[in-house]
Amino acid sequence: MKKQSPRKRSRKRRIVTAIMTVSATLVMASCTFWGFLKMGHYHLVKEVPHSQISKNKKSKQVIYPTIYIGGSGGSATDLFDMMTQVAPQEVAKSAPLSFAVNIGRNNALTISGNIAQTNHFPQIDFNTVKGTSAGESYSIALQKMMTYLTKHYRVPAINLVGFSSGGTGALYYMIDTGGNPNFPRVKKFVSLDGEYNSETPLQAGETLAQVLETGPSAQTPMYQYIAKHYQRLSSKTKTLLLMGDYNALMQTDGTVPWADGFSVYHFFKENGNPVTWRIYPSVVKHVADKNNPTALAYIKTFLFGKSKTQT
């Protein structure tokens, strides 16, 4: 057997030693890397999003909006004048935010304007673009708007002002979202010439007093839906029902009979809501009542009193 020279044996030992050194270095680097992931980097990945979410949640602006719901015409500027006159002076200075939910185009949402960081009591105009008198359509559209608001703002409570068919929509919305924690509570509700029984007048031998006490004798599907579900309403919502006396003899505002506009009064009473009905003087027909100074004065006092903070 041929013996290796001392020089060759020395070279072999150096190669083996180098290989072992490199292997040990790689093992140590691997342990350090995985230790970093486990003890450091993983911790950051887990904790940073949580802290960021908390920061974003805390930074949401708190608002208590009053939402004005337009009538069946669907006009985008239907209630701007009303909003300016009803809002307290310090709030009226801010341009209103407008939500258009186009019920004719799969409830496509369009937003105009913004809410200033210092404005915690914004006035919001709502319309359906395409005209409707259907409470169901209004309710779905209002829910879409409210989902947007609650996503971008903290909204503990709202006020609703419904004109004409906007009153229908407001009431359907309150019924459909009643008890749902995803939607803010309705603090106050104003119905101005609201429609709840498809413009049904008093029937032969029927009186307004009877309608106020027990409801109308002739009941349309619109009214029947409310009758079936009104107990979903929050009993804490303060309510004001207003009707114009354009034709006192016929007991109508020129379009909606008093028997219709006040047909839901007894539901609020039975549900335990603080509710008031009132007939105001008017020399113009229904469509112009949204700018009636007496009606607007009632609404302003009911909603805000002497201070906007009463929302």
Structure confidence by residue, pLDDT tens digits, 89-104:
777 667 778 999 999 8
Give mean pLDDT, residues 196-200. Answer: 97
Q: Please, which residues bridge with residue 102 across strands?
A: 108
**For the chain, first and last CA: distance in Å?**
105
Assigned token pair, 63: 């608002």
SS3 181: coil
Mean pLDDT of the chain: 84
Assigned token pair, 15: 């190669």
Q: Are residues 157 and 216 in the same domain?
A: yes
Q: Are residues 36 and 50 in the same domain?
A: yes
Domain containing residue 226: 61-310
Alpha helix ranges (H) inside the chain? 6-36, 42-58, 80-86, 89-92, 135-152, 165-176, 208-214, 221-229, 258-261, 265-271, 293-304
Q: Are residues 65 and 46 in the same domain?
A: no
Q: Are residues 21 and 164 in the same domain?
A: no
Q: Are residues 107 and 213 in the same domain?
A: yes
The total of structural domains in the chain comes to: 2
Q: Are residues 299 and 209 in the same domain?
A: yes
Q: Are residues 116 and 31 in the same domain?
A: no
In whole angstroms, give the CA distance from residue 311 to residue 9: 94
Q: Are residues 92 and 175 in the same domain?
A: yes
Q: How confident is the model at residue 49 (pLDDT cuts 50, 70, 90)?
A: very low
Q: Are residues 203 and 236 in the same domain?
A: yes
Q: Are residues 35 and 105 in the same domain?
A: no
**β-strand 61-62 against 66-69: which pairing, if any?**
unpaired
Q: Are residues 128 and 36 in the same domain?
A: no
Q: Where a domain ends, among 9, 31, 59?
A: 59
CATH number at residue 138: 3.40.50.1820
More confident residue, 232 or 4: 232
Q: Where a domain ends, among 38, 59, 80?
A: 59
In whole angstroms, give the CA distance from residue 281 to residue 246: 7
Q: Are residues 47 and 116 in the same domain?
A: no
**Smallest Cα–Cα separation from 192: which of 216, 219, 221, 171?**
171
* pLDDT for residue 77 is more than 80: no
* pLDDT for residue 148 is more than 50: yes
